[in-house]
Structure 1
Amino acid sequence: MNRDELAEFLRARRARVTPAEVGLPGGGRRRTPGLRRQEVAQLAGMSIDYYIRLEQGRGPHPSRQVLGALARALLLTQDERTHLFHLAGQPLDPPRIREDVPASLLHLITFLEEVPAYVVNARGDLRAWNPMADALMGGLSTLPPERLNVIRWVFLSPQIAEHLSDEEKGRFARASVADLRVSAGRYPDDRALQALVAEMLALSPAFAELWAQHDVEIRREQRKQVVHPAVGVIDTICQVMPVPDRDDLRLVLYTTEPGSPSHRALRELRQLTLSS
């Protein structure tokens, strides 16, 4: 159980819920935004002293019933609820991040000849990719191993401005940090993940600011505009798909609307990869 992270998460989520959202009167002056501690305790059906101790990082190990009540009181999303349970140490057998990629998955991305595809683990490490992903993302095969990480690329790579606008980078950065928060709760004993977070907190104020917000959301489908130096702007649908029986891996596919200018640009990029 990570008491400090649990306490920070509870405080952050409490500050985001208004009395009106949970059917409470909103009158009176409030020193801080969101619900009061006694209101959360009331909604969750627990004593105010018990809840205060949880927020101060000195509470007992909460039961699943207590965590479920808190999730309902704080209006947590499914991703946030899962994160809460992980922080409280409820999974009896914490999953681990492995380094291998199943051969069947490697074969799949190889056969996707017209679709940029790569495999990413729960830390954001790129474990495998096909030639189209290499071309779209600016030469993954030329990067040193430590740079083959989504988080480092978003916050530390000077080349990101060549591929994403400021607005796109901001959305992608926020989504990536929220996703990494999920992993940090799910894999509390992964030293490489802990080291990545510590590194980014030390090197990137932008990462530190987003990390402090405790946003939690698994990356799924999102639209992303990529600017490629050879074929121009490509409006893509970035699909993030879980790998069956491997919760630590996801398959990422970049597709476009059929027949669109972006589709034609992607096909042009395909021709360039064949001729190079």
Structure 2
Amino acid sequence: MSADHYTRLEQARGSHPSRQMLAAVARALRLTSDERDHLFHLAGEEPSRDRPATEHVRPGLLLVLDRLVDIPAQVVSDRGDILAQNAMAKALTGDASARPPAERNVVWRFFTDPSARELFPVEEHDNAARTAVADLRATLARRPDDARLAKLVSELRARSEEFSALWDTHHVAVRRADTKRFLHPAVGPLELDCEVLLSPEHDQRLVVYTARPGSESHERLELLRVVGLQDLTRG
């Protein structure tokens, strides 16, 4: 969308772009939720109320993400959709933007794609599965009318017996700080502290991974800055 087209839109003149184009403009300009809603109204569209976490990364979280250059960090919706990653996060867990939209959801991939678990030690799988399901159930408790979330749960239950069994335990817990272990193919094992910063509405999280200074994982994380970022550049 050109600057002239956007100006005409602000003045309620000219043709109206699609909802997808409006969402893309809102992301590019890092509009607040109120500004985004106003943009939709100018275009004669009703702002979507059930998809804030997947259409629009909150400006405050994106601002912090932009400044985290030496540690892995990513913005994830409370549904599990990866919304934005810095270069270090892409080097650690892979570039989510290169995957089909459905596969950018970390819960979906964990329960439907065996290769997604290869990044973690086998002994971590059970706890990771329980944590993911409990967190998703907590999200559904906050937004019981979220049709997209209900669809995700329904499809996961149909695809994964493990997910379905864990869902039936009715355990609820919001994902918080934790220690995560990775098996990175380039730099080897990593033990990282995972910190989670929640947005005010709790619908988006900034997830940050750090290693204790002086530890072997800290050295390997430094190596990942070189090896991983070079791989991304070549890719």
1:258 lines up with 2:216 in the alignment = no
Residue 217 of structure 1 and its aligned partner are, at CA, apart by 0.7
Number of matched pairs: 181
Find the partner of 2:76 among 103, 114, 120: 120
The 1-side partners of 2:60 and 2:138 are apart by 26
Find the partner of 2:123 among 167, 173, 176: 167
Query: Could you tell me the percent identity over the aligned residues?
Result: 42
Find the partner of 1:247 among 195, 202, 206: 202
Question: 1:87 maps to what in 2?
Answer: none
Residue 174 of structure 1 and its aligned partner are, at CA, apart by 0.4
1:221 lines up with 2:221 in the alignment = no
Look at both structures and tell me which one has the larger radius of gyration over its CA atoms. 1
Question: 1:57 maps to what in 2?
Answer: none
Question: 1:209 maps to what in 2?
Answer: 165
Structure-2-length-normalised TM-score: 0.73
Structure-1-length-normalised TM-score: 0.63
After superposition, the C-alpha distances for 1:79-107 in whole angstroms (9 at most, x for unaligned) are xxxxxxxxxxxxxxxx9551311233223
Taking the TM superposition and a 5 Å limit, the aligned residue runs for 1:1-276 are 97-98=51-52, 99-243=55-199, 245-275=200-230, 276=233
User: Tell me, which stretches of 5 or more residues in structure 1 are unaligned?
Assistant: 1-94
What amino acid is aligned across from residue 191 of structure 1 in structure 2?
Answer: A
RMSD, matched Cα:
1.5
The 1-side partners of 2:191 and 2:162 are apart by 25
Whose helix fraction is larger, Structure 1's or Structure 2's?
2
User: Tell me, which stretches of 5 or more residues in structure 2 are unaligned?
Assistant: 1-48
The 2-side partners of 1:111 and 1:234 are apart by 23
The 2-side partners of 1:194 and 1:216 are apart by 16
The 2-side partners of 1:206 and 1:198 are apart by 13
